[in-house]
A and B are shown apart, each in its own frame.
Chain A
Amino acid sequence: MGTILQAQGLTKRFGQTTALDNVELSLESGRIVGLLGPNGSGKTTFIKIASGLLTPTAGQVLIDGVAPGPQTKAQVSYLPDRTYFDNWMKVSDCLELFADFYQDFDRVKANDMLHSLGIDASKTFKTLSKGTQEKVQLALVMSRQAKLYLLDEPIGGVDPAARDFILDTIIRNYNEEGTVVISTHLISDIEKVLDDVIFLWDGRIERTDSVDHIREQSGKSVDEVFREVFKC
């Protein structure tokens, strides 16, 4: 399998604050990767750069060998940490938007997912609960046949039952040749579905490893190892 994402010397500063500091990273195709780190460690910044919403201060990130731009956006399916749909929009409007924007959007799949969620497409966004809004967005994002899925805190704002549903949706629907990057600090909930983990700390990569290797080597869950590494 090839490399889908490569970061070289990736650095991002906001004024005095360094959000990402010389990050070197390479992600292979066909993996589910956890981007883990405490609050403010640079997870969202990394994902925003990879999805082309922010430009790096130094260094670069390449998606399938290409710098973020229109070409990579057609291959990257991004779930932001907050909603970008307007309150007045109906769920069906969001569907139209995705169908309009993305060639790889599978409308049948999206409809199926919304149906299994019991979501009425004629409802407006503002009438949906926060958890349901997140589910709608995830359904849309996972209905693309993307090479790279960048999911920023997909399970952050929802209850444990909805978390299971969301993880289920991810496993069920991701494109097998694609890679899924999930950023979160709720590790115990998701470590079973991960191949690899990246520990981010203060804008630097503290460790990258496979979940199997961490468990074999330490005899502990990734969650426990994380708590040790990031002990305050």
Chain B
Amino acid sequence: MFGRQAYCQKATLEVRRCILKWNFSNDHSIAPQIVEMIQTGILAGFYPLGSALPSVRALAVEAGVNPNTMQKALAELEAQGLLYTQRTSGRTVTTDERLIMELKERRAHDYIRHYFEGMQSLGIARDRAAEMLAASASASTSADTSASDTKATTTTTNTTEVN
């Protein structure tokens, strides 16, 4: 269920835009923010498993950051096992799907924690927050279904044109 194909398909335009924007918040160091962005990029399939990453300088230019900062972030991702260096072809994304799954889980829990923290700051209790989330999820699922139906139709049309 976690094949490379599936990854690529999951890189929705929305995520691509998020990744490519490289918007940094001002109250943290930049390197950890880059780490998180590239993690998201890997999880979303923007940087597919086993693919080569652009060079440090190319990435630095793209993100508009200092090459040393980019280097630091990539070293951290290497330490996490998400990237590895190949002598001939630069840095490559790991092919270890279990590692990716773990990361995905960890990042998902971060989002969940943020959600409950945010709701708590509004004075909404945990169980109520959970109810609201479930209600919102079921509401958006039905909306999503119709949206993806439209998308599927468009894709089919495109394929036909290509053929």
A interface residue numbers (CB < 8 A to B):
30-32, 164, 167-168, 171-172, 176, 192-195, 211-212, 215-216, 219-221, 223-224
Contact = CB atoms under 8 A, between A and B. Distances in A.
A14 to B, nearest CB: 34
Contacts of B28: 215-216, 219
B134 interface: no
A127 B66 CA distance: 34
Contacts of B69: 192, 195, 212
B31 A212 contact: yes
Contact of A220 (B24, B26, B61): B26
A168 B26 contact: no
Interface residues of B, number: 17
A219 B28 CA distance: 6
B30 A215 contact: yes
B67 to A, nearest CB: 6
Contacts of A212: 29-31, 69
B61 A171 contact: yes
Given A171-B57, A172-B57, A220 B27 contact: yes
B27 A192 contact: no
A171 B67 CA distance: 7
B66 A167 contact: no
Contacts of B26: 215, 220-221, 223-224
Contacts of B129: none
A193 B27 contact: no
B65 to A, nearest CB: 5
A194 B30 CA distance: 11
A215 B27 contact: yes
A72 B62 CA distance: 33
A171 B27 contact: no
Contacts of B63: 192
B68 interface: yes
B27 A164 contact: no
